[in-house]
Amino acid sequence: MGELLALSGIRKRFGRVLVADGLDLTVGDGDAVGIIGPNGAGKSSLFGIVSGDLRPDSGEVMLSGRRVTDLPPQVRCRLGVGRTYQVPRPFEHMTVFESVLVAAHQGGGLRGRAAIARATEVLTATGLLPVANQPAGRLTLVSRKRLEIARALGAGPRLLLLDEVAGGLTDPEVAELVEIVRRLREGGLAVIWIEHVVQALADTVDRLLCLVGGLFVADGTPAEVLASPAVREAYLGGGLELRGAAP
């Protein structure tokens, strides 16, 4: 499979806080990569740099061999980058179907029947079709999380950035999300998933990285990374939700 995303020498500082200190990362078509790290480690900032919400102080972002470092989020969306946010941001007065239809129209550039077909397909894939006509503002937390994924998928991404979509959910709800992501992977979608619920990542991704102090301190299989002394040291005092993961 070809190289989809390449970050090279990414640096980003907010005042005295360095959230990216020369980061390099390569993700191929269809890859599933998880990222863990303590609160404030720069994980969401990294997503912002990939999606175009943030500009790095230095370094390059490449998408399918094209330099996109200076391109805004809407252009990167059209080039195949979709993302969710830690706190769901639904259009509360729109129905679930309308919310995804907007994504297909504005993010995916689809019109008419093609946009309707995309929205219907995405709602089916995320289990939201039964509540398609319900106002998004009335959804439960787990359904809001699903809608975050559905809106990102509505634009037809090749790379999906998942930011803490399992946070605040019960174990059965997390298991349902894991199954959704697995099916997306089977369809060839590349995924980068930031998560504190590590078992969700261990059940889904092939590669896990730990971001601490602007650096990746571990990179390998989930089992290798969770056993790393550097990772255990980073999480002294808590913050890592194992939920049944191996000690």
Q: Which domains does the chain have, with CATH numbers?
A: 1-80+159-247 (3.40.50.300), 93-156 (no CATH)
pTM summary value: 0.92
Task: Give yes or no for a contact between 12 and 20, defined as CB atoms under 8 angstroms apart.
Answer: yes
Express each pLDDT in 54-76 by its tens digit. Answer: 999 999 999 999 999 999 999 99
Q: What is the mean pLDDT of the chain?
A: 92
pLDDT of residue 242: 52
Q: Using the 8-state DSSP alphabet, how is residue 161 labeled?
A: E
**Taking residues 231-247, what's their average pLDDT?**
60
pLDDT of residue 247: 35
Q: Which of 88, 156, 94 is nearest to 122 (CA)?
A: 156
Q: Which of 200, 185, 198, 203 is nearest to 228 (CA)?
A: 198
**Taking residues 229-238, what's their average pLDDT?**
76
**Taking residues 130-139, what's their average pLDDT?**
96
Residue 190: exposure state from Cβ atoms within 10 A (0-12, 13-18, ≥19): buried
Alpha-carbon 54 to chain mean position: 15
- Per-residue pLDDT band for 39 (boundaries 50, 70, 90) equals confident
